[in-house]
Structure 1
């Protein structure tokens, strides 16, 4: 599980778009690249607002195809506590519900590589725990995970490997265990390598 961190404007989202070949395309989608099935959940979850969750799933399936059955989708939705919202129109969703729904859309083709742009954005503490557990589960099932985050404490909990980006360049790429053998935490590393202020209350950059 690889995390890409860096200050605002460092190029994290642009990196994801370049990696997937969908630069300047805002919608969450699943694509094929060099024979690898990739699921992408972008930070801006652009959805069909006037349609229900189930209708959005139908549209994405028609456009992209999909391996997940309705039962599997329902299972993920129940785990993330959003199954009751699937029959409702998306414009009624809270930010957290939209985030979790977009995550499920990223799983439609049962991708081998899951790319997540700020997956915890907008989630309350309980939802963060459930999302984290689901990401761990998917990783243990064999899916590779690449994600960006501003939350250094969350990165310490999730990532096996950390890349640090500054002004469009990777200034560090190392195993989290090796980093933490030399620094007290990722915040200390970040301050040394990037030198920007970190919100101590939220541990965000």
Structure 2
């Protein structure tokens, strides 16, 4: 966990109260409650099927919740980098950026877009058609698309999937820079070492429930690493 940064734990930008979601007869989320605070990097971690992506989809409005309440601060602009990339594959990266910029009413300057592109090491690929991209290059492009509206809250669902070590470092640095610039960030990840480098706060989920929220519990202080906590808490619940 990042010890050098103190999050202002005052303003709630989203409050999730006892939300539940059933999909195809299976209870994916079971009375999930937590807050997202202004200026924090919050990580959702858990095994496959824990409910992380479903939580993200409920927050973004892709899914309707079956019960509970999601309260969002008025005027809050949210952008999502989904777990599964979506592009116009026969178009170039630049064409995809232009389409999304126009459709989602992007407000970033060309200079800022190019700055993010260069930080991610993406500039050499954007004149090529997206179907030629590797998985990691597609993740980088998805990140840029999520930034076009200059959101207040950036939701990143497994952002570093498929990235090589250098690309992970570049993306990590960009996430930290965006946070320093005032953006709140919610991310999901299976990479616990990466979460430790990024997150101010961690929520551990399993079977659609929250097991640990270290805003409420001091559980993390009892373990040498997030990995130790994860295997202990998740393994015995």
Normalised by the size of structure 1, how large is the TM-score? 0.87
May I ask how many residue pairs the two structures share in their alignment?
189
Report Cα offsets for 1:97-141 as digits up to 9, x if no partner.
111111000000000100000111111001111110110000000
1:15 aligned partner: 55
Summarize the Cα distance change of 1:104–1:33 in structure 2 as closer, same or farther, 3 Å threshold. farther
Work out which of the residue numbers 180, 190, 195 in structure 1 matches 2:230.
190
Work out which of the residue numbers 115, 122, 126 in structure 2 matches 1:86.
126
Q: What is the CA distance between 1:62 and its match in structure 2?
A: 2.3
Partner secondary structure for residue 181 of structure 1: helix
Work out which of the residue numbers 75, 80, 89 in structure 2 matches 1:40.
80
Q: Does 1:134 align with 2:171?
A: no
1:96 aligned partner: 136
Partner secondary structure for residue 151 of structure 2: coil
Q: Which runs of 5+ in 2 are unaligned?
A: 1-40, 65-71
CA–CA distance in structure 2, aligned partners of residues 187 and 82 of structure 1 = 31
Partner secondary structure for residue 106 of structure 2: coil
Kept after mapping to 2: 8 A contact 1:4/1:162: yes
CA–CA distance in structure 2, aligned partners of residues 178 and 171 of structure 1 = 12
1:55 aligned partner: 95
CA–CA distance in structure 1, aligned partners of residues 50 and 74 of structure 2 = 27
Q: Which runs of 5+ in 1 are unaligned?
A: 25-31, 197-205
Q: What is the CA distance between 1:162 and its match in structure 2?
A: 0.3
Q: What is the CA distance between 1:180 and its match in structure 2?
A: 3.9
CA–CA distance in structure 1, aligned partners of residues 50 and 196 of structure 2 = 20
Q: Quick check: which one's helix share is greater?
A: 1
Q: Does 1:120 align with 2:160?
A: yes
Work out which of the residue numbers 201, 211, 214 in structure 2 matches 1:174.
214
Measured on the aligned residues, the alpha-carbon RMSD in Å equals: 2.0
Normalised by the size of structure 2, how large is the TM-score? 0.75
Q: Quick check: which one's strand share is greater?
A: 2
Q: What is the CA distance between 1:37 and its match in structure 2?
A: 0.7
